[in-house]
Amino acid sequence: MRIIFMGTPDFAVASLEALIQSGEQVVAVVTVPDKPAGRGQKIHESAVKIFATQHNIPVLQPVKLRDEAFLDELKSFQADLQVVVAFRMLPEIVWNMPKFGTINVHASLLPQYRGAAPINHAIINGEKESGVTTFLLQHEIDTGNILLSKKVAIKETDNAGDLHDNLMVAGAETLLQTIQQLKDGTLQPKPQEVLLTTEPLKHAPKIFKEDCKINWDQPTAQVYNFIRGLSPYPAAFTLLNDKVLKIYSTEKELVNTATIPGTIETDKKSFLKIAAQDGYIVISDLQLEGKKRMNVVDFLKGYRF
């Protein structure tokens, strides 16, 4: 099959690499335009572009996906199939171009957790299981007919970074299985409506900075899940003397306490914990605004309460 791959971050690179190693013919890659990033505003290339360039695969970086020049170039590759992993929403003129359509790899067990941040929301909600789904693109986002899915367990100590890495591998494996079955003619696409149950649909909208502030009035387990669901990125935060304190790694301590939620307790040497509704969040890895990320012992050595 002649395949055009569309993606941006590291999560997508694993699937692209799997396609190449399996011998599939990736004729082109579509990714986001280069843009300045960081303090020095150096030009940043997407992880997918860097990988594709290293493997001498033509790279297309359209600003607008309906641009006539881009569409003409896309058609010129005469792809049988397009694969999308962590990319932008595509117009129909793009996803409907190849004869086999466009397959998307999504980091959840659809129809649950449709949206831009399924990994974060699954952990924030305390799920014990997630997974990946391959499906055919159609008009409404993340609603197309399902091809294959694979479940992945979530440990209570897993953060969003851990689940990201596990789903990245599972996504690449499931994509290869999907393409093989597509070539064999054994795939039976299922409408997502068939998989709907009485359980309410949970959504996974994009997460913004203002969504990451910790509410200490919540139960301790809920705060714990919120922190690990946003670690390592974009990171949950609280305020310490009007400065942003990002919290990356914690343990929960469930105890009966009359302490006001949000109260900090510390021996100023080895531990720092903050009261929640029914216990404490014991912090082990953090970053104060203007400082480097560090473990709590090093932080306490230099911070004066």
Instruction: Detail the residues annotated as belonging to a binding site for (6S)-5,6,7,8-tetrahydrofolate.
Output: 108-111
- Annotated binding residues, written as ranges, equal 108-111
Q: How many CB atoms lie within 10 A of CB 19?
A: 20
CA distance 21 to 55: 11
